[in-house]
Amino acid sequence: MGFVKEFKEFAVKGNVVDLAVAVVIGAAFSKIINSFIEDIVTPLLLKPALDAAHLTNIEELTIFGTVKYGSFLSAIISFVIVALVLFMLIKGINSLKKKEVAAPVAPPAPTKEEVLLAEIRDLLKNK
């Protein structure tokens, strides 16, 4: 098998294409989540603390004028919020899957042989 043909078979497998789609959607989702965190949630949560410190941005928080612990705090807050959003998303998806699985499965209809054997059994019981 030629290298090109083998690579083509590998590249168009369903798993590889699904993974590529997941990476692209993940990157777009990451931009949405980062914007949500940086532009909406972080300012709302930190506004009182930043006003008390006379700052406009959390990254401006420093110790000794050189250690920027504000950037570290911002990263921690971003991580916690992303983890919370992903947890809620996965929890929602799992609850939808449970509802789908909860539907009772009807037992299969007996085959012709089973019906015939049941009739023979019933006739033998009556003798």
68/55 Cα distance (integer angstroms) = 13
At 22-40, the pLDDT tens digits run 888 888 888 887 787 778 8
pLDDT for the residue 101: 61
What is the band of 63 on the pLDDT scale with cuts at 50, 70, 90?
A: confident
pLDDT for the residue 18: 77
18/20 Cα distance (integer angstroms) = 5
pLDDT for the residue 14: 64
Query: Quick one: which H or E segment has residue 104?
Result: none
Q: What is the pTM of this model?
A: 0.48
34/30 Cα distance (integer angstroms) = 6
Q: Percent of the chain having pLDDT more than 90?
A: 1
∠ Cα 36 37 43 (to 5°): 105
> Would the pLDDT of 11 be above 80?
no
> Would the pLDDT of 9 be above 80?
no
At 99-126, the pLDDT tens digits run 666 667 778 888 989 888 898 898 888 8
Q: Is 87 exposed, middle or buried (0-12, 13-18, 19+ CB in 10 A)?
A: exposed
> Would the pLDDT of 53 be above 70?
yes
Topology, domain 3-126 = 1.10.1200
